[in-house]
Amino acid sequence: MPRHLAIADETIFGTPVTPPTTFLDVRSIGLHPEREFISAPSMIYSGPQYMAPGQYKCLGDIAMWASADNLMKLFKHLFGGTPSSTQDGTTGNYAHVFTPSDTLKFGTYYKVPDVCAVVTSAQQFISCIPISMRIEARTGDPVSATFSMLGQKDAKVSATALGTVSTVRPFFAIDGKLYWAQPGQTPEITNVDSISLTYARKIPDDMYAMTDYLLKCFVPGEGTLEGEMDLLFSDWDAHGYFWTGVSSGAAPIQAPVSVALDLDLNGDALPTPAILLKYRCRILCPNIVLTAVDAPVELRNKIMQTVSFKGYRGTVSGGTHLLSATLQNRITTP
């Protein structure tokens, strides 16, 4: 039976919004509540004598096949702030550029299971925000996106009827291109088998007061960027960047030069005439350093390199950021 995820933007922390405005066809919804209990141990008895309700929160992952449409609302809540949106004349095509912001955005999320006895009810998650995003692309598979969530509380509400769902197809690894470069260079990495990229923002999950068991607010914390990719070992470029920051490097030095990473995913063509030629997700990481390059040699099998990396701030999308993400689609407002 069909199930769906629905989202509505919130303006006041702890105040749900209904009805939702965005409906997503996702692979899985792992959002769920967790509550702690405070116990009072005893010297006399072998177990706690008393128990009291403790802190309450919502956690879990949302996984989906990534497309230029279904990433939109989650990018808005993950990055915060207001994206820079540019319209291509009057064609209805838009480019939305997201960069990390301390101005938080969050929403009410609805998990709607359409099965038998609970068909008339849904689970409402109030004041939810993504705290991390993992983009994974592997040869032969659709591109997947997984968002780890943090929320204040949940409630049982009437089920929301399924609204309009995007029909834009997901990205596939065979559509994507991956580049890394030093300034002034844009070499494409053509032998990528897979890549996993994770951006996380540390929002504390312990913002409680003695007078309440619910989260009081979200506080923006530090952002981190890391990942790894598997490459068919056809040259020594990865080792060169790991050693010295240049592909001709032959030995490690104390301070390797950083590399820029550009993950460019394309999908269906946008309606013409258009400057924005395709539905697209482009993730730019201005500064990454390679932390490990592993290329096991086994018999006469093909050699695959696993390259691990971490990112730091640099100039991208008109500012100094850890990364930027651009979505091209026909959605007017994120």
- Residue 255's pLDDT band, with cuts at 50, 70 and 90, is low
Give the count of beta carbons closer than 10 Å to the beta carbon of residue 285: 27
Q: Is residue 334 part of a domain?
A: no
How much of the chain, in percent, has pLDDT values that exceed 70? 92
Q: Is residue 45 part of a domain?
A: no
Question: pLDDT tens digit string along 78-133?
Answer: 999 999 999 876 678 999 999 999 999 999 999 988 755 556 889 999 999 999 99
Give the count of beta carbons closer than 10 Å to the beta carbon of residue 105: 21
Best-predicted range by mean pLDDT (48-52, 61-65, 247-251, 253-257): 61-65
Q: Is residue 14 part of a domain?
A: yes
- pLDDT at 3 > cutoff 70: yes
Task: Provide the pLDDT for residue 29.
Answer: 96
Mean local confidence (pLDDT), 305-333: 94
Provide the token pair at 168: 């834009």
- What is the DSSP annotation of 24-56? E--SEE--EEEEEEEEE--SSSSS-SEEEEEEE
Give the whole-angstrom CA distance, residue 165 versus residue 182: 40
- pLDDT at 152 > cutoff 60: yes
Task: Provide the pLDDT for residue 252.
Answer: 66
Q: Is residue 128 part of a domain?
A: yes
- pLDDT at 246 > cutoff 90: no
- Residue 323's pLDDT band, with cuts at 50, 70 and 90, is very high
Task: Provide the pLDDT for residue 16.
Answer: 97
Domain boundaries, position 13: 3-40+52-329
| Residue in 56, 49, 64, 76 with CA at minimum distance from that of residue 5 | 64
Cα dist. 74→169, 253, 300 in Å? 17, 40, 44
Task: Provide the pLDDT for residue 183.
Answer: 59
Query: At 76, is the secondary structure helix, strand, or coil?
Result: helix
- pLDDT at 254 > cutoff 70: no
- Residue 240's pLDDT band, with cuts at 50, 70 and 90, is confident
Question: pLDDT tens digit string along 190-214?
Answer: 889 999 999 999 999 999 998 889 9
Compute the Cα dihedral for 325, 328, 329, 334 and give only its sign: positive
Q: Is residue 47 part of a domain?
A: no
Q: Is residue 153 part of a domain?
A: yes
Q: Is residue 222 part of a domain?
A: yes
Number of folded domains that form the chain: 1
Rg of the chain in Å (alpha carbons): 23
Q: Is residue 244 part of a domain?
A: yes
